[in-house]
Structures are given as C-alpha cells and as structure tokens.
Structure 1
Amino acid sequence: MKHKVIKKQKSSSRCIVCGVNNELGMKASFYELENNELVAVCDTKDWHQSYPGRVHGGMSAALLDETIGRAISINDETIWGVTVSLDLKYKKPVPTDTTIKIVGRITKENRKLFEGSGEIILPNGEVAVTATGKYMKMPVDKITNENLDEDEWFLDNEEIPEYIEL
C-alpha cells in the first residue's frame, strides 16, 4: 500500500542509525507518513552482518528502537523518546546489501511515557523483525549536554519521495 510522505525528519552527523558521516552506520532516512507512522529506509551493508549475508540482530534492534522512539516527534519535534524497554521477535533473517524499510508507530501515551510498535519489512514485503517498546518523553537538552547545532542535527539534501510503498 502506498502512503503519502508528509515530512522528512532530520539526520545526525555521527549516529549509528541515521548518521550521514558515520562510515559504518546504517545511514537511515526517516519519513513521516500521512497515517502518523514513521518509516526509515536504509541500505544494509556487509559490515552490518553477524553470520555471512545476515544483518546482526543488534543492528535490527537499533533500527527499530530509533524508529519507534522517533515516532513521538511526529506531533511535537521538541520531544524525543528515551528507551525504557524494547522487546523484539526475529522472524526472518535481514539480508545484507539490500534496501529495507522500518516502520514505527505510537500505540499508547501519557504525559511522561509512550509505547510503540514497529517492524522491519524486506523488499518482498515480508516482515523480518517486530518490536514493541516503552519510552520516556524528554526534550533533547535533558538527554545530552551536547549542542545539536546544524553540524550535528540537520536536514540533508536527499530528495524526499512523494510516496512510500509498504
């Protein structure tokens, strides 16, 4: 099913998931959709592997954690998610050297916490990994002492797709 892209979220310089200047990172791009879901798109590489040809489960966990945690920013970009717990189910191997999509959504929230779910979707549409998580809502200045200026947190020049197929 096609979903209209509403907005692209910012990327960082060094993050293992979205860092555009992290040579070993996933370089995921995050898109807010019309249905209030967040989709990350990334290309897996052989240096993300555990067993040959398979992405390490920890990399899959990081992708899902980041995507679910960022979904809270769809309605308020000043609020970020800090992980309290994350539960994953590995259903199929995630191959290296392929483009995958990671979907995240908020399922429940109150003033201080939120819960979400997500999945990694393979190019053939199959779900490889699912996750549910609980997060604390926090403004970025409570998470890090580092200043997130335009050298660390920015919109890159990548073209934004009009639709994403899930």
Structure 2
Amino acid sequence: MTHKIKGTQNISRDCMVCGVENGFGLKTRFHETENDEVIAVFTPRHFHQSYPKITHGGITAAILDETIGRAIMCHYDNKTFGVTVELNVKYKRPVPYEVELKVVGRITNDNGRLFEGSGELFLPDGTLAASAEGKYMKRSLEKFTDAGFIDNDWFTPEDCPEEITVQDQENGKRQV
C-alpha cells in the first residue's frame, strides 16, 4: 500500500538507530503518515548480522522498539518520546541485510503518562518478518538530555518523500 507522508521526524548524529555519524548505526529515517503511523526505512549491513546473511535479532528488536516509541511524536511533537517499559517481539522470518527494509509503527492506546503501540517489520517482497507490541512511558526530550544536544544534534533530515509504499502480503497489501 502507498502511504502519503506528512513529515519526516528528527534524527541525531550518534544514535545506533538513526545516527548519521555512527559508523555502525542503521541510519534509519522515520516518516509520519497521514494516518499518524510512523514508517521507518533502513538498510542493515553485514556488521549487523548474527548468522550468515541474517540480521541479528537484537537489531530487529531495536528497530521495532524505536519505531513504536517514535509513533507518539505523531500525536504530540518532535520532542516527545516513548521510553520503553516493556517490549514483546515475535520473530517470524529471517531478516536479511544489505536490502532496504520498512517498519510500520503506531499507537494503540494512550493513557496520558503511559502509552502502548505495535509495529511490523516487512521484507522487500511484503513478507512479515517480525512484529512487536510495547508499553512506553511518555517523556520529553528535555527530561533526559541537555540543550546542547537538542540545539546541535537533533535535526530534521532534508529527504522527505511524498509517499512510501509498504508491501504487506499477509494482509492483502492493505494499509497497516
């Protein structure tokens, strides 16, 4: 399904998931859809492997966790984060590296200070590789970092697509 993108979320320089200057990071971009979901686009590399030609399960958990935790920004602002309280990941298929992958995440329940969300990692052909559900504490970026980080290392990348297509074989290519 093709998702219309309303904006691209901020990234940082050193984060393992989104950091543009982290040599071993995933360099993920996070885009907000018109339906208030987040689509993460990333390409794991050979140094993210566990078994030969397979991305480590911890990387899979990290990208699902980050995408779900960032979905709260669709409803608040780019300085409102989800700090993980609980994460349950279901691994369904091996996740290859050196190919572009997409994760779709959303908020399923917002109870003020705590919120819940879910997400799915899709292979390029639309096969569901992993899914997760999590519980998060809503936190302002200012609560766990300093103004220097916010002013110098927290920025919006210039690449914002108008739309992103996410294949979804298991749900008839429906929008998730």
Q: TM-score range by the shorter chain?
A: over 0.9
State the match for 1:130 in structure 2: 131
**Any residues of structure 2 matched to 1:145-164 within 5 Å, and which?**
145=146, 147-157=148-158, 159-164=159-164
In structure 1, how many angstroms separate the alpha carbons of the residues matched to 2:66 and 2:73?
A: 11
Identity of aligned residues (%): 49
TM-score (norm 1): 0.96
Which deviates more, 35-44 or 73-82?
Answer: 73-82
Runs of 4+ in 1 over 6 A off after TM superposition: none
In structure 2, how many angstroms separate the alpha carbons of the residues matched to 1:50 and 1:94?
A: 10
State the match for 2:143 in structure 1: 142
Give the counterpart letter for 1:38 in structure 2.
V
State the match for 1:76 in structure 2: 76
How many residues align? The count is 165
Q: Which secondary structure state, in structure 2, belongs to the residue aligned with residue 161 of structure 1?
A: coil
2:95, 2:129 within 8 Å by CA — same for their partners in 1? yes
CA deviation vs aligned residue, 1:81-136 (integer Å, no higher than 9, x gap): 10000000000011011000011100001111000000101100011010000000
Q: 5+ unaligned residues in a row in structure 2: which ranges?
A: 167-176
CA deviation vs aligned residue, 1:14-70 (integer Å, no higher than 9, x gap): 000000000000000000001111000001110110001000000011101100000
Give the counterpart letter for 2:108 in structure 1.
T
Q: Which secondary structure state, in structure 1, belongs to the residue aligned with residue 148 of structure 2?
A: coil
TM-score (norm 2): 0.90
In structure 2, how many angstroms separate the alpha carbons of the residues matched to 1:148 and 1:66?
A: 19
Q: Which secondary structure state, in structure 1, belongs to the residue aligned with residue 143 of structure 2?
A: helix
Measure how far apart 1:11 and its partner are: 0.8
Q: Which secondary structure state, in structure 2, belongs to the residue aligned with residue 97 of structure 1?
A: coil
1:54, 1:95 within 8 Å by CA — same for their partners in 2? yes
Q: 5+ unaligned residues in a row in structure 1: which ranges?
A: none
State the match for 2:58 in structure 1: 58
In structure 2, how many angstroms separate the alpha carbons of the residues matched to 1:147 and 1:138?
A: 18
Measure how far apart 1:155 and its partner are: 1.4
Which deviates more, 78-87 or 144-153?
Answer: 144-153
Measure how far apart 1:144 and its partner are: 2.8
Measure how far apart 1:146 and its partner are: 6.3
2:46, 2:98 within 8 Å by CA — same for their partners in 1? yes
Give the counterpart letter for 1:14 in structure 2.
D
